[in-house]
Structure 1
Amino acid sequence: MYIPSPFRDDDLENMRATIRCARLANLITATSGGPLATPLPLLLDESEGEHGTLYGHLAKRNPQWRIATIGDAMAIFTGPEAYVTPSWYSSKRQAEHVVPTWNYIAVHAHGPIEFFDDPDRLLEIVTRLTNIHETSRATPWAVSDAPVDFIAAQLREIVGVRIPITRVESKRKMSQNRPMPDRIGVATGLAASKLARDQEVAPLILVQD
């Protein structure tokens, strides 16, 4: 990922927060036939390794796990993002040399990938993923709510994914390269947007170093 110095974020906790908040990741593997990609939820186990370890699962019919991987796998996580119009820049009043851009947060996690089909390990991963996404509900659903034989049959149709993260990089592009009056204009414009995703980006503009 191309990361100009103003947008580089080496804070590990920031990276972990982006991974935790991402509802869906993209799993990328390189093969002799070209890159393969699958969108899927991944959980981060922060207790495993220096940077943590990612877990998830693929459908057993997905060919990605069957094709030999060249080098490390990469998981892409994205955070808040928004279009930025130059109309929000106060500097536009003095010069017309401004163009639109996009603000966003992205984390790329790299590491060797392991696929597994052990039912006990799969049940653990499915349970942990389910709990992560059900815990905020008023009446959370649990894997144990379903019949044991039904869950066992479902587990036979998936393959587990494990990626110990050996390298992680993060880009946090939030108008840090603009003068403060322009950043204030961007934050104000996004805050006034009718789109919830724009409003989510707005407060991030003014907290950058």
Structure 2
Amino acid sequence: MYVPPAFREDDLAALHRTMRETRLATLVTATAEGLIATPLPLFLAAEEGPYGTLYGHLARANPQWRLRATGEAMALLMGPDAYVSPSWYPSKQEHQKVVPTWNYIAVHAYGPPEFFEDADRLLAVVSRLTDLHEQPRAEPWAVTDAPADFVRAQLRGIVGLRLPITRLEGKRKVSQNRSAADRAGVAAGLAASERASDRAVAALIPT
């Protein structure tokens, strides 16, 4: 990922926060048959290793886990993003030398992918993922709400993923390279949007 110095994010806590807030990641591996990518919900075990470890699962029928990865795998985790209109820059009125851009937060996590089929490990991963996303609900559903034999049968249709992170790349592009007036203009423009992601980016722009 190309990361200009102004947008580089190296703070591990900030990187982990983005990773936890990302609801759907993309696992990418290079194989002898070419690149292959799968959208996956993942969770971060921050205590495992210097950068943490990602866990998830994919369908047993998905060929990605059977195709040997060449080198490291990469998990793409995107935070909020938004289109930035040049019309929001006060500097537009001064010289017209402005262009559109896109604000976003992104984390790329690299590591050797490990796939596993052990039923108990799979159950633990599925349960933790479910609890994570059900937690905000008034009446959370739990894996234990389903019949145990049904759950065990469903587990046979998936394969677990463990990705111990060897390095992280982070990019936080939120208009911090613009003047204070331009930043304020972008924040106001995005805050007025009907898109929730635009309003989320507005809150991230430094004042």
TM above 0.5, yes or no, is yes
Following superposition, the deviation at residue 33 of structure 1 comes to: 1.5
CA–CA distance in structure 1, aligned partners of residues 195 and 60 of structure 2: 38
CA–CA distance in structure 1, aligned partners of residues 202 and 118 of structure 2: 45
- Partner secondary structure for residue 69 of structure 1: coil
The aligned counterpart of 2:156 is 156
Q: What amino acid is aligned across from residue 7 of structure 1 in structure 2?
A: F
The aligned counterpart of 2:145 is 145
- RMSD value, Cα: 0.7
After the TM superposition, which segments of 4 or more aligned residues of structure 1 sit over 2 Å from their partners? none
The aligned counterpart of 2:29 is 29
Q: What amino acid is aligned across from residue 168 of structure 2 in structure 1?
A: V
- Partner secondary structure for residue 205 of structure 1: coil
Following superposition, the deviation at residue 194 of structure 1 comes to: 1.8
The aligned counterpart of 1:132 is 132
Q: What amino acid is aligned across from residue 79 of structure 1 in structure 2?
A: G
Q: What amino acid is aligned across from residue 45 of structure 2 in structure 1?
A: D
The aligned counterpart of 2:112 is 112
Following superposition, the deviation at residue 87 of structure 1 comes to: 0.2
Following superposition, the deviation at residue 176 of structure 1 comes to: 1.2
CA–CA distance in structure 1, aligned partners of residues 122 and 98 of structure 2: 51
Q: What amino acid is aligned across from residue 128 of structure 2 in structure 1?
A: R
The aligned counterpart of 2:77 is 77
Q: What amino acid is aligned across from residue 46 of structure 2 in structure 1?
A: E
- Give the TM-score normalised by structure 1: 0.98
The aligned counterpart of 1:10 is 10
The aligned counterpart of 2:203 is 203
Following superposition, the deviation at residue 112 of structure 1 comes to: 0.5
Q: What amino acid is aligned across from residue 42 of structure 2 in structure 1?
A: L
Following superposition, the deviation at residue 85 of structure 1 comes to: 0.3
- Partner secondary structure for residue 203 of structure 2: helix
- Give the TM-score normalised by structure 2: 0.99
Following superposition, the deviation at residue 96 of structure 1 comes to: 1.4
- Partner secondary structure for residue 103 of structure 1: strand
Q: What amino acid is aligned across from residue 192 of structure 2 in structure 1?
A: A
Following superposition, the deviation at residue 206 of structure 1 comes to: 1.6
Following superposition, the deviation at residue 47 of structure 1 comes to: 1.1
Identical amino acids, percent of aligned pairs: 63
Q: What amino acid is aligned across from residue 158 of structure 1 in structure 2?
A: I
Give CA deviations for 1:57-103 in whole Å, capped at 9, x if unaligned.
Answer: 01000000010100000000000110000000011011111100000
Q: What amino acid is aligned across from residue 189 of structure 1 in structure 2?
A: G
- Partner secondary structure for residue 206 of structure 1: coil
Unaligned runs of 5+ in 1: none
CA–CA distance in structure 2, aligned partners of residues 36 and 47 of structure 1: 29
- Partner secondary structure for residue 94 of structure 1: helix
The aligned counterpart of 2:169 is 169
CA–CA distance in structure 2, aligned partners of residues 65 and 195 of structure 1: 36
Following superposition, the deviation at residue 3 of structure 1 comes to: 0.1
